[in-house]
Structure 1
Amino acid sequence: MSGQGTGRKARLAGSLLPPPGPARMLAVAALVTSLGFGGYTAGSVLFFTRGAGLSTGQVGVGLSLAGLLAVGGNILFGRLADRWGPREITMVVGGLQVVALLLSTVVDSFAMFLPVVCLLGVSEQAGKVCRNALIGGAVDGDDLVRTLAYLRSVLNGGIAVGAMLASIAVRYDTRSAYQILLFAIAGVSLFGYSLYLFVPRTRPAPRLRKKKDFPKAPPSISYVFTGLLCGIVNLGDTVLTVGLPLWVIGQTAAPKPMAAWLHAVNTLLIVLLQVRASRGAKTITGATRLLRLAGWTMAAACPVFWLAHDFPAVWASIALLIGVLLLTASELWNSAAIWGLSFSLAPAEARGAYLGKFSIGTTLREVFGPVLVIGLITGTGGSGWFLLAGLMAFASACAGPVVRKAQRESGVSDGTLARGRSGSG
């Protein structure tokens, strides 16, 4: 009996962790850094408002500015990753993030807050681009999407745990408690980024060592527009974290804790299902199909959320749960589509630069998404759900033609993921 239990545990671990090797070490590093990120996202805004004395408007302005600067930062650090190696640049942006976290502990004015939060935003977003470029160089093309799916499962689990640990500081709700939290996050982040030293180094191709040989990226506006479509569909994440709590509490009869429960359901399902939901994203055709499916599924979720407005508590809760299940399915498929399309349409010798440009869509979503979602959901009496559904349907309908054009302009055939690999050593 114990042997059967051990076997089940081994199968469960195998479904949540990549196989031994570079992918396993990447997962460990991602888990550690995600603990810090989860703690930061759960406690930073409260520190800046309640501990540092800033207004919510000042914090909002700072976060929006940081998001805008991150668009250029992703492109810059993506190119640097191609030129000097993604592992090295990943650790550089990790170091910048640690410095920003330490500086944030002494913020006590808006003038100090702006440069610190901008450094935090740029380094955090650039870290995602450089880490993905590192994964692309360390993992074989056939295993790339599967590895990225593993890492997203690990990241969500780590973020959830980090957020729960941050609740200790939130409970005390003092400046010193938040400062201790930020010091702890900085230490965890430093340790996590140091683990990338154990990932094999990916070197740029020899012909890229001279600046004049470095390719300009991307040559195709369709590639960038593909990323924008993915960013539109990715508004589902903003709906979950920003719009839905306001809708649940202010516009439905569902219990107020339902907002937190729905987020927990989403996180758990992503941890358990992301690897399985990513099947089929290895080809451009498969990834495009997942992007379209994600858009239509999110479009279907919006009117379901709207139904909760007029229902009594029980039926409103059921409608909200069904909506989150649809939203989560969209998020799972869209993530897989992002990986498949961004890597398949990018040459290995300029992967970092291409990924930096592709990320414009998701970065702009983080900047303008909260304002758009709040305006549509709370400022229209509920009819905004149908406008949001229309936007999702539009993105889904555009996916096929835009991706096909990007594929023609890139000159890559279907079935090729992450064309070639940089040399590693």
Structure 2
Amino acid sequence: MGARENIRTAVRHVVPPAGLTRALAVQAMVFAVGHGLFQAGSAVFFTRALGLSPAQVGLGLSLAAGALLLGTVPLGGLTDRHGPQRVWIACLLLDAALFATYPLVTGFAGFLAVVLALAVTGAATGVARQVYSINVLRPEERVTAMAYQRSSLNVGFGLGALISGLVLAVDTIWAYRGMVFFIAAVYLVTAGFVRRLPRLPQVTRPTEPMSRLAVLRDRPFMAVSLLSGLLSAHQTLYLTVMPLWILTHTDAPKTIIAALVLLNTVLIVLLQVRASRGADTAPGAARASRRGALLISLFCVVLPISGQTRGLLTVGALVVAATLLILAELIESAGTWGLTATLPPAAQRGAYVGAFGLGSQLQFLIAPAGLTALGVSTGGWGWYPAAGIFVLVGLAIVPAVARAERTPRLGEAPEATRTVTPVP
């Protein structure tokens, strides 16, 4: 009986409850199949099917990242003006059309045009999806629902990666073209899911709307954005810096990198909902972010041990370090959701959610080179100052959130009453 109850509890933390939370999780999983498929197969598609050089691919993706950084806040403003659901659907339809045009690309200029457009629609989609989830759910449900979505996203990413393996095994031009047409179809299906979600009530707009970049003047909020963005470095550490450390400073087999990625996926699916408890208020989210920061610092202390060990001890040290970083990711992600759900004002939520993402985007520009130089290139001693940096960020984020809570937001207006139609 005890084992049966444990199984039921585990299922409840993986399978979302019926209703709106499940509907949001299902669309997330469908979307992630297409997104995961392209993430896993895009590099080969660009070089084999489009005939681009690695340098051209790298330049195009870097320019797309720059466009994403510059466009997030204005695109968030679009969500405020036109409604998150409408923007979300429009961007998914544009994504489908853009992926369908990929086989027509014949050179770098065409590739750049498509990849820049996809960066813009991707940024708008991310903001609109998050704003919709916040607006349509009751405050106590928001973080848990986002946790279920993230768990479902990882299931979808895994399925997409599996499909990409089949495409790479076939390795023909038509297989790669079929891949992008399939992704376009996935986005069309996702748009259909989103269209069937409940309609949102109209949010009261301020009589004098903010300018598109006015949110950047909200210094307490932007300080929280920067600190939280620095903590999102757990992604860079797990997917970029730790593999480089394993390859250059340990005797572990290369296959352990893939095993640790699988471990990450499995634990996120199983534990994300549990790890999100208590992060549905601003103080709770701040404390979750602090715990995540301290776990990242512990990772930075444990990982260098693997450079001094041999054989199974090395594998054990890497598994312990990876587990610490996964726990940090689970808890810090919940903190991020709690902060974006509680700090922005309802009438300007799109602009504020977009501005909050600037911190993590800056991290993606700085952390890969910075943490690699500090942790890997130093031979190992640089991990200790890196741990100190994350401790300082963790200590700073709780008072920063408290200050942001005390400071009125720009364009703040009372939240509209959340009356939504049932899920069809």
Residue in structure 2 matching 1:44, options 13, 22, 42: 42
Other-structure match for 2:94: 96
What is the TM-score with the length of structure 1 in the denominator? 0.90
Is the 1:156–1:271 Cα contact (8 Å) retained in structure 2? Answer: yes
In 1, Cα distance between the equivalents of 2:212 and 2:246?
Answer: 50
Residue in structure 2 matching 1:134, options 118, 125, 132: 132
Output the amino acid matched with 1:165. I
Residue in structure 2 matching 1:190, options 177, 188, 199: 188
Residue in structure 1 matching 2:293, options 292, 295, 301: 295
Alignment of 1:60-79 (within 5 A): 60-79=58-77
Q: Evaluate the alpha carbon distance shift between residue 212 and residue 133 of structure 1 in structure 2; reply closer, same or farther with a 3 A threshold.
A: closer
Other-structure match for 2:161: 163
In 1, Cα distance between the equivalents of 2:40 and 2:191?
Answer: 20
Is the 2:75–2:123 Cα contact (8 Å) retained in structure 1? Answer: no
Alpha-carbon distance, 1:15 to partner? 2.0
Is the 1:294–1:333 Cα contact (8 Å) retained in structure 2? Answer: yes
Residue in structure 2 matching 1:348, options 343, 346, 355: 346
In 2, Cα distance between the equivalents of 1:370 and 1:172?
Answer: 33
Q: 2:147 aligned with 1:149, yes or no?
A: yes
Could you give the per-residue CA deviations for residues 305-327 of structure 1, whole angstroms, max 9, x where no partner exists? 11111211211111110011000
Alignment of 1:190-209 (within 5 A): 190-207=188-205
Between stretches 32-41 and 57-66, larger displacement belongs to: 57-66
What is the TM-score with the length of structure 2 in the denominator? 0.91
Other-structure match for 2:361: 363
Is the 2:204–2:347 Cα contact (8 Å) retained in structure 1? Answer: no
Q: Evaluate the alpha carbon distance shift between residue 214 and residue 385 of structure 1 in structure 2; reply closer, same or farther with a 3 A threshold.
A: closer
Alignment of 1:24-423 (within 5 A): 24-207=22-205, 216-217=214-215, 220-410=218-408, 421=417
Output the amino acid matched with 1:125. A
Alpha-carbon distance, 1:135 to partner? 0.5
Provide the aligned length of Structure 1 versus Structure 2: 418
Is the 1:31–1:155 Cα contact (8 Å) retained in structure 2? Answer: yes
In 1, Cα distance between the equivalents of 2:120 and 2:244?
Answer: 28
Between stretches 341-350 and 269-278, larger displacement belongs to: 341-350
In 2, Cα distance between the equivalents of 1:13 and 1:49?
Answer: 42
Alpha-carbon distance, 1:355 to partner? 0.4
1:116 is paired with a residue of what secondary structure? helix
Q: Evaluate the alpha carbon distance shift between residue 390 and residue 50 of structure 1 in structure 2; reply closer, same or farther with a 3 A threshold.
A: farther
Q: Find runs of 4+ consecutive structure 1 residues off by over 6 angstroms.
A: 3-9, 212-215
Between stretches 104-113 and 326-335, larger displacement belongs to: 104-113
Tell me the C-alpha RMSD between the 2 structures: 2.6
In 2, Cα distance between the equivalents of 1:19 and 1:236?
Answer: 29
Alpha-carbon distance, 1:124 to partner? 1.9
In 1, Cα distance between the equivalents of 2:70 and 2:419?
Answer: 27
Structure 2 portions without partners, runs of 5+: none
Is the 2:32–2:156 Cα contact (8 Å) retained in structure 1? Answer: yes
Is the 1:308–1:320 Cα contact (8 Å) retained in structure 2? Answer: yes
Q: 2:41 aligned with 1:23, yes or no?
A: no
Alpha-carbon distance, 1:37 to partner? 0.8
In 2, Cα distance between the equivalents of 1:297 and 1:84?
Answer: 40
Is the 1:137–1:421 Cα contact (8 Å) retained in structure 2? Answer: no
Output the amino acid matched with 1:241. L
Is the 1:252–1:313 Cα contact (8 Å) retained in structure 2? Answer: no
In 2, Cα distance between the equivalents of 1:5 and 1:36?
Answer: 36
Is the 1:234–1:365 Cα contact (8 Å) retained in structure 2? Answer: yes
Alpha-carbon distance, 1:299 to partner? 0.9
Output the amino acid matched with 1:18. P
Is the 1:31–1:154 Cα contact (8 Å) retained in structure 2? Answer: yes
In 2, Cα distance between the equivalents of 1:422 and 1:56?
Answer: 49
In 1, Cα distance between the equivalents of 2:390 and 2:204?
Answer: 43
Output the amino acid matched with 2:54. T
Alpha-carbon distance, 1:196 to partner? 0.5
